[in-house]
Amino acid sequence: MTYHVEILLIVSPPSDGVSSLCFSPKANHLIATSWDNQVRCWEVTKNGTSVSSVAKASIAHDQPVLCSAWKDDGSTVFSGGCDKQVKMWPLGGNQPQTVAMHDMAVSQVAWIPEMNMLVSGSWDKTLRYWDLRQQTPVHTQQLPDRCYSLTVRHPLMVVATADRNLVAYNLQNPQAEFKRIQSPLKYQTRCVAAFPDQQGFLVGSIEGRVGVHHFDDQQQSKNFTFKCHREGNDIYAVNSLNFHPVHGTFATAGSDGAFNFWDKDSKQRLKAMSRCNQPITCASFNNDGSMYAYGACYDWSKGAENHNPATAKTSIYVHLPQEAEVKPKPRVAGRK
């Protein structure tokens, strides 16, 4: 019997597609950025198996917003997008201010508490590091191509760019590339997620496949790729990879409208969830892994001709993962 803990639909969702979701590291405050130029914040409350949400605040960019990140103390939100800037928004109510600029759209942003710095990645093929006390970047790192995805687990940062490049940095020496590899997947990269132990990363692509990659040459035998988000001959993009903050298992979410929980160490799927009727574009666990938020909306993977404004509603859901869905299981004997 499949048992779903009640899934909440977040109140007052964006009016266009959701581009990023992230929970505060300190509280159940959820940020969503959207193609409708807005950044929104909700407070999500869990009471037993039921969940409720309250819209708290929002700010606007001049153009679609693509990415978001929290400061580690949960006080401040960063958002970047097609207006080529990163805004810093103290949730206490102060006006947002521009703290970073690029020459093209800002696609990725992350706060690195160990460096007390912000890092932003852009379609202008650069990474820029920002000390918020000054207006120019502390360091600009050239990338091999446009920045598509970025993941930080200090001291490891992995950046995925166009043309299937994956560049790893040791943030103790951020001005030098630690390692550059071609993606183990044959098609365009959509998302990356660094292992919690910083020994490697996951990469997801448009071909319904995930690669599990270790840096250490001694661990190369543990590298593998697996298929997911496929149905018959239909192949869907993997849009989101998120590690569970407690158990070290991970979730994939895709254009098929499904999300699944996996254990890379025992190479098995822990739980397959039933599909929703729209692609899932992004997702986020809260700080203790008791909530998993995901955004469902048209993702344009089937082009403009399949976009129907009448049915293309944007929704944000919160699922309460049960321990059995996300806790590692012993490896099944005989499985390769």
pLDDT at 16 > cutoff 90: no
pLDDT at residue number 302 = 60
Asked if the structure places residue 129 within a domain, the reply is: yes
Does position 1 have pLDDT exceeding 60, yes or no? no
7 band by pLDDT with thresholds 50, 70 and 90:
confident
Give the model confidence (pLDDT) of 180-208 as tens digits.
Answer: 999 999 999 999 999 999 999 999 999 99
pLDDT, tens digit, 9 for 90 and up, residues 114-140: 999 999 999 999 999 999 999 999 999
Establish if 149 belongs to a structural domain: no
Average pLDDT over residues 66-72: 98
> Taking CA 194 as the corner, what is the angle to CA 40 and CA 234, rounded to the nearest 5 degrees?
75
The verdict on residue 74 lying in a domain is yes
In a domain, 45, yes or no: yes
Question: In the sheet that 189-194 helps form, which strands lie side by side, from edge to edge?
Answer: 189-194, 200-205, 209-214, 224-227
Q: Is residue 161 part of a domain?
A: no
Confidence of residue 306 (pLDDT cuts 50, 70, 90): low
What total of structural domains would you count in the chain? Answer: 1
- How far are the Cα atoms of 57, 103, 155, 167, 243 from residue 111, in angstroms, in the given order? 21, 20, 13, 18, 18
Q: Is residue 165 included in any domain, yes or no?
A: no
Q: Residue 320: name the closest of 7, 3, 75 by CA.
A: 7
pLDDT band at 4 (very low <50, low <70, confident <90, very high): very low
Rounded distance between C-alpha atoms, residue 101 and residue 146, angstroms: 15
Residue type, 56: K
The predicted structure's pLDDT at residue 2: 40
Instruction: State the pLDDT confidence band at 299, using cuts at 50, 70 and 90.
Output: low
Residue 307's alpha-carbon distances to 195, 297, 304, in angstroms, are 36, 10, 5
* CB neighbour list of residue 248: distance below 8 Å, 6 or more residues apart: 196, 197, 265, 328
Residue 300 forms part of a structural domain: no
Cα–Cα nearest to 225, from 247, 244, 203: 203
- pLDDT, residue 316, reads 92
Q: What is the mean pLDDT of the chain?
A: 92
| CA–CA dist 48, 165 (Å, integer) | 44
User: What is the CATH number for 106?
Assistant: 2.130.10.10
Residue 221 DSSP class: G
What is the DSSP code (8-state) at residue 63? S
Q: Is residue 312 part of a domain?
A: no
pLDDT of res. 177:
95
Find the domain containing 62 and state its range: 8-113+122-135
